[in-house]
Copies of this chain bind each other. A is one copy, B any other.
């Protein structure tokens, strides 16, 4: 790779498309002949208007969103959304369903409970350390929404299909797999995603909210914690995180113009993850930790025969220019995060290394 760049398998912040970084770099001192850096341009300028509106238009085209959806840019990450969702949508007497598939779902539930909001955990995979996505869930018909985490970075699981909620709007944390595949948007009342895995750098959270959800919001919320504030002002009630939104715009452009859209992206992601899982399934040395039908195409979690070997594996990989393969500190083991921007050459290089490592240590 150019400039001695590594293959970056970090879970997030994660690798970005190289053409995106190169474009940022080239224009960093003078954005589009403005005489200013994109970090210096007023958010009330035509330059930034073009950035945010293009980011929104591309997002809508890529996901096939019609005008009942609003694309917003908030701050505070998905963790702030965990709090804002019940604050905005769960008035007294209303309740919501939550599915618990790991660390992030658990945190989302906790932030509802801390506000004394009524939430029903209708399914959980905690019984087997979150190694699978629950099936045949009985959602409550009167739930205001059904909350899921579409991809679980730490446990390496992903919803292959979204659940049938009998019409209850799904709210999904898609921080780690947004834009990795096409969506049937009409199932969703809201989608949110911290940008730093699949769509940009840290510092911005994309929120896609359906118009009818906005009617549920009470009047007495602080302005910055009320989705209506962001809808009314095109995410510019106050100064937005301009640089991160600009990066999202460039990633959406890359997805549309270089990758060719989300169907092409999904095919490539299947191919990339397939290389890794197929290789591991043919060995006894590497063991993927998630159930086969629940495996993530984004975060491939696996174990080696011993923790000593895992440490050696991570160390040797790092020395060979493959970074970030250590599993999350809460579960150990190994993890290859292979988001949209990870090229297939990165996976091929990793698999070749895994073969070599097994030969030398197996």
Contact = CB atoms under 8 A, between A and B. Distances in A.
A243 B83 contact: no
Contacts of A10: 36, 40-42
Mostly helix, strand, loop or mixed at chain A's interface?
loop
A26 to B, nearest CB: 9
A222 to B, nearest CB: 3
Contact of A241 (B39, B83, B244, B321): B244
A238 B324 CA distance: 18
A3 B30 CA distance: 7
A322 to B, nearest CB: 10
B16 A39 contact: yes
B28 A196 contact: no
B222 A111 contact: yes
B13 A321 contact: no
Given A196-B239, A244-B243, A223 B111 contact: yes
Interface string A288-301: 00000000000000
A5 interface: yes
Contacts of A244: 203, 241, 243
A220 interface: yes
B238 A39 contact: no
Contacts of A329: 44
A33 B28 CA distance: 20
A109 to B, nearest CB: 12
Interface stretch (A73-81, A154-162, A278-286): A73-81
A323 B21 contact: no
Contacts of A107: 223
Contact of A203 (B194, B203, B220): B203
Given A79-B238, A224-B83, A29 B25 contact: yes
A88 interface: no
Given A13-B242, A77-B238, A244-B241, A39 B5 contact: no
A42 B8 CA distance: 10
Given A114-B220, A239-B77, A15 B28 contact: no
Contacts of A33: 4
Interface string A191-233: 0001010000111100000000000000011111100000000
Top 8 closest pairs, chain A to chain B, by CB:
A6-B35, A203-B241, A83-B222, A75-B75, A39-B201, A79-B238, A25-B28, A80-B224
25 contacts: A5-B29, A5-B36, A6-B34, A6-B35, A6-B36, A11-B42, A13-B42, A13-B43, A13-B239, A15-B40, A22-B29, A25-B29, A35-B321, A79-B238, A80-B222, A80-B224, A82-B224, A83-B222, A83-B223, A87-B222, A111-B223, A114-B222, A203-B203, A203-B204, A241-B241
Interface of A: 2-6, 8, 10-16, 18, 21-22, 24-25, 28-30, 33-37, 39-44, 74-80, 82-83, 87, 107, 110-111, 114-116, 194, 196, 201-204, 220-225, 237-244, 247, 321, 323-324, 329
Given A6-B36, A8-B36, A8-B40, 4 more contacts: A6-B34, A10-B36, A14-B40, A25-B28
